[in-house]
Amino acid sequence: MPPTVTTATTSTQNAKGLLGVLRLFGERPNLILRLIGGYQPGQPGEGTIVGNGWTPTVQRRFPLSVDYELPTPTQPSVLEGAVAPAATTYTPDQDENVVQLFHETVKVTYLAGSEVGRMDPNGVLSIGSQDAFHYSGVDQTQLAMQLRKIARNYNYSALNGAYANPANPLADAVRMRGIIPAIATNAVDAAGAALGKALIHRLYREMIENSGVQPETGLLLLAHPVQLDALNEAYETQFRQGQDRMVGGLMTREVYTPFGVLRLPNVGAYDLDVPTDTLVLINPEPIRGRYLPVKGETMLVEPLAKVGSSEDWQVYGQLGIDYGAEWLHGKITGLSTAAGSGS
């Protein structure tokens, strides 16, 4: 029977005790969250978003960068004895983002929370454990699931979020701007073409010409599996000397271009939250998670008022993404999503 999600109080009827290891159906890589820190696959409490890559802010708005631009270089023609030229003022531009609210509820009946054993299909009772990966329908399991849901929603928003900073957050939700929508300076429209070396080189050139990014130190590539497959096809004939010819297949982890080395993250280069027609070059150096503390906490889990025979909690966080200046990153959009389209 496929797993289900029920909008209701956790009880003995919709969260029955089962035997076996708890597995998440449809797990996602959450690469931005892993890059920031705090996502620990294979550990109890997986999905909690606390780590060294997070910094606090004091308002829901926080600065990303202050940018200024100089004129295109020219050869001056200054006459001897000339008076001082007219003054020039360079006006910087402030770029900012906001934290958005993540809010979930855990509500477990006393009966469901009291049953520490698990019943197998044959009616044999097994002693329960505190292992979060063994599903027993109790509060800690439900709490862990809500945290993982928040982790997934954060990762999606950090990549794709549509910006909103309303004057009245009671009436309109505050929403962070994701990295992909933010990139405007270094944006290549593939217009339906397949991903190939020419498009990647074009994006590299634009990053150098438009914003002075020096990519030779290595940018990180994030893409949907469709485009990662196309990338491997594009470079499948490019071998480094000494490669073992008795091993089949290809798993590209570094791409050498005329402009620099393109690296694919060790945690995996694909992310299902990246649109299927998009490839993103991430400059990892400035990326940080931002949070507005709630009662001194990064993520708050607190009990709600008693209204019956259940334990009620709310999970709450005010989280954002700091990607620095948008021109530090680049993207290709409008790529072909047809299978086998790499060239």
Q: Give residue 268's pLDDT band: very low, low, confident or very high (50, 70, 90).
A: low
Q: Which residue has the higher pLDDT, 279 or 34?
A: 279
Quick one: 199 and 253 in the same domain?
A: yes
Q: Could you tell me the two tokens for 234?
A: 């594009």
Average pLDDT over residues 263-287: 83
pLDDT of residue 134: 44
Of the candidate ranges 109-123, 127-141, 213-227, the one whose mean pLDDT is the lowest: 127-141
Please determine, for residue 63, whether its predicted confidence score (pLDDT) is greater than 70. Answer: yes
Quick one: 194 and 127 in the same domain?
A: no
Quick one: 279 and 311 in the same domain?
A: no
- Percent of the chain beyond pLDDT 70? 71
Residue showing tokens 């009620």 = 312
292 found inside a domain: yes
Quick one: 190 and 42 in the same domain?
A: no
Question: pLDDT digit string (tens) for 294-325?
Answer: 988 888 888 899 889 988 889 899 999 999 99
pLDDT of residue 29: 80
Please determine, for residue 105, whether its predicted confidence score (pLDDT) is greater than 50. Answer: yes
Rank 97-106, 147-156, 223-232 by mean pLDDT and report only the highest.
Answer: 97-106
Q: Which residue has the higher pLDDT, 178 or 141?
A: 178
Q: Could you tell me the two tokens for 152?
A: 């997934």
Query: Is residue 289 within 8 Å of residue 301, measured between CB atoms?
Result: no
Quick one: 217 and 280 in the same domain?
A: yes
Question: pLDDT digit string (tens) for 185-202?
Answer: 999 999 999 998 899 889
In this structure, are strands 61-67 and 93-98 parallel, antiparallel, or unpaired? antiparallel
Distance separating alpha carbons of residues 211 and 185, to the nearest angstrom = 8
Quick one: 293 and 278 in the same domain?
A: no
Q: Where are the beta strands (DSSP E) in the chain?
A: 54-56, 61-67, 93-98, 100-109, 118-119, 125-126, 187-189, 219-223, 254-256, 261-263, 279-282, 288-291, 299-303, 310-322, 330-333
Query: Is residue 36 within 8 Å of residue 287, measured between CB atoms?
Result: yes
343 found inside a domain: no
Mean pLDDT of the chain: 79
298 found inside a domain: yes
Quick one: 51 and 151 in the same domain?
A: yes
Q: Which residue has the higher pLDDT, 118 or 330?
A: 330
Average pLDDT over residues 178-189: 97
339 found inside a domain: no
Please determine, for residue 242, whether its predicted confidence score (pLDDT) is greater than 70. Answer: no
Average pLDDT over residues 54-71: 89
Quick one: 151 and 54 in the same domain?
A: yes
Give me the DSSP letters along 246-306. Answer: TS------EEE-SS-EEE--TT-SB-TTS-TT-EEEE--TT-EEEE--BTTBSEEEEEPPP
Average pLDDT over residues 47-75: 79
Q: Could you tell me the two tokens for 172?
A: 């309109």
224 found inside a domain: yes
Average pLDDT over residues 210-223: 76
Q: Give residue 251's pLDDT band: very low, low, confident or very high (50, 70, 90).
A: low
Q: Give residue 48's pLDDT band: very low, low, confident or very high (50, 70, 90).
A: very low
56 found inside a domain: yes
pLDDT of residue 92: 84
The domain total for the chain is 2
85 found inside a domain: no
What's the domain range around 153?
A: 31-61+96-177+288-322
Quick one: 46 and 160 in the same domain?
A: yes
Quick one: 130 and 277 in the same domain?
A: no
Distance separating alpha carbons of residues 213 and 207, to the nearest angstrom = 6
Distance of CA 268 to the CA centre of its chain: 13
Quick one: 115 and 43 in the same domain?
A: yes
Q: Which residue has the higher pLDDT, 2 or 68?
A: 68
pLDDT of residue 339: 62
100 found inside a domain: yes
Q: Could you tell me the two tokens for 238?
A: 């490019």
Distance separating alpha carbons of residues 336 and 234, to the nearest angstrom = 13
pLDDT of residue 40: 46
Quick one: 140 and 204 in the same domain?
A: no
* Tally of CA atoms within 13 A in the half-sphere of 163 that contains its CB: 14
